[in-house]
Amino acid sequence: MIEAELKACVLAPEDILRRLDERGVGRAEVYQDTYYDTADGALEARDEELRVRTVHGLDETRTVLTYKGAPVDEESRSKPEYETRVDDAHAVHAVLRGLGYVPAVAFEKRCRNYAFEARGRQMLATLVRVPELDGTFLELETLAEEKDVTGALDDIREVLAELGIGADDLTREQYTAAVKAHRCGGATDL
């Protein structure tokens, strides 16, 4: 399955939060993300991702291992995604390091997630703050077959418009690149 997703910079977070609250109950979670790569950066060169995410929620803490392939849609950067829950975060980090992967970047995301149905699709809207980056972001995603990515992205754009997000608010930059640039003192367009 493809994670069809668009991300936007949010100029009025309180307004977006109110509109999302009208669609469902949000759940606050903190993500601790560590992205791995080979020592020579082969995954980044192929635009692939290997991530360990520990999610701290009100009711539980869980860890997932995720591999994202290269984008199937360049405009949105939507990618095939394979994810599985793991019982022991320390063990999965040790396994990846033992296989020769190295941590490329690690950072925290403070999220409020909303799961709802729109346009006949299950969607997940995530309002995001990354403490070391300026701004608030909104991610809206749904799963789609590769042949339906364009239709899924059209549906996502319609829901974003209903939330007050326009095409000029969209961004393609990844948090990983923005965090790395910030730590190096570089500029980012996120």
DSSP one-letter string for 20-68: HHTTS--EEEEEEEEEEE-TT-HHHHTT-EEEEEEEEESS-EEEEEEEE
Domains in the chain (CATH in brackets) are 2-183 (2.40.320.10)
Per-residue pLDDT, 190: 53
Per-residue pLDDT, 66: 98
Dig out the tokens for 47 from the structure.
Answer: 């635009």
CA distance 25 to 20: 8
Assign 11 to helix, strand or coil. Answer: coil
Question: In this predicted structure, which of 10-24, 63-77, 111-125, 173-187 has the lowest mean pLDDT?
Answer: 173-187
Per-residue pLDDT, 146: 93
34-46 pLDDT tens trace: 999 999 999 999 9
Assign 156 to helix, strand or coil. Answer: helix
106-144 pLDDT tens trace: 999 999 999 999 999 999 999 999 999 999 999 999 999
Dig out the tokens for 131 from the structure.
Answer: 């403490």
Per-residue pLDDT, 22: 96
Assign 146 to helix, strand or coil. Answer: helix
CA quadruple 93, 94, 99, 104: dihedral positive or negative? positive
As a whole number, mean pLDDT of residues 148-155 equals 98
